[in-house]
Amino acid sequence: MMNDVLFHLENIRKTYCTDKGERIILDIPSLDLLCGISCILGISGVGKTTLLAMLGLLEEPDPIHPDGEPQIVYHAQNQKILYQKLWRSWWNRRKAVQVRGDEFGFIYQESHLFGHLTALQNVILARCMQNHCPKHQAVEESRSLLTDLQLITDIDRSQSYPEELSGGERQRVALARAMIKHPNVLFCDEPTGNLDEVNKDLVISKFKALQAKYPNCSIIMVTHDISLAIQFADRLYMMKKGRLAIIPKENWDKMKIRAEIKNA
């Protein structure tokens, strides 16, 4: 599975208009992203988050590319999903919402939990929104996952509201909310960026445990943490000037990667 193609991209470009003219933020002629755990490194502003949003059907590429039609093919478990068909009309964009809800999970630097709901209710809501899951099943599955993430122990943090939780606890709830749907792809944008070392290590250990529990779930993570990426990933990518290139395994050295990022 790890060497199977997850996403194929062709002629993908994203530009923005600024006071200084047009800026190309993403420019990918052709690329295959494989199943497993991929980490994307690079300085801020080179297109990492834009790429993640595009793969997650949250953003669309420029509709015209000089080399041909923009294409993203997502190899779901039982079918190929052609993103270019989902971009073309309002009706198909409704299908994109369905694909995003059924296939993908998202975790960001901020947890983005609903403040008026408890930790448990945040996770239950995500499960109930998928495939008309009965509430009693959603409650049982949510409690089980929060237990796995050590939020239900001798002290039950599942009944706490987000403002009553630490940053690490909130991020573990966000992880539970993303994983409760058993997504095929988990998109992570700096998920440990706001955490101290202790909470970062704990959250990453839970990522690994859940990935082992759900081996069909691929993870695509954007991070500035080189050590985390080397420790966690099956593959490393470097984003430079809107282009993505794989980092060969023999170059997985923190000092080498840091120098390459600095010179990008």
Give yes or no for residue 95 having a pLDDT over 80: yes
pLDDT of residue 239: 93
Helices 167-179/135-148 angle, 10° precision: 130
**What DSSP letter does each residue of 173-184 carry, written as one string?**
HHHHHHHTT--S
| Cα–Cα nearest to 174, from 141, 134, 198, 207 | 207
Sheet holding 243-247, edge to edge: 104-107, 185-189, 218-222, 37-41, 235-240, 243-247
State the amino acid at position 89 in one-letter form. Answer: S
The pTM of the full predicted model, rounded to 2 decimals, is 0.91
Instruction: Determine the average pLDDT of the residues in 242-253.
Output: 92
Residue predicted with more confidence, 181 or 124:
124
> Could you tell me the CA-to-CA distances from 21 to 17, 18, 66 in Å, in that order?
6, 5, 19
Return the CATH class of domain 5-109+183-262.
alpha beta
Q: What's the farthest any 2 CA atoms get from each other in the chain?
A: 60
Residue-wise pLDDT tens digits, 154-174: 899 999 999 999 988 999 999
pLDDT of residue 264: 67
Whole-angstrom Cα distance, residue 84 to residue 81? 9
Whole-angstrom Cα distance, residue 242 to residue 91? 30
Residue-wise pLDDT tens digits, 25-67: 999 999 999 999 999 999 988 899 999 999 999 999 998 888 8
pLDDT of residue 22: 85
Residue-wise pLDDT tens digits, 163-210: 999 988 999 999 999 999 889 999 999 988 888 888 788 878 877 887
SS3 24: strand
pLDDT of residue 151: 92
Whole-angstrom Cα distance, residue 179 to residue 175? 6
Give 234's contacts (C-beta < 8 A, 6+ positions apart).
2, 34, 36, 37, 38
Whole-angstrom Cα distance, residue 71 to residue 12? 7
Going from N- to C-terminal start, the domains of the chain cover: 5-109+183-262
Whole-angstrom Cα distance, residue 171 to residue 167? 6
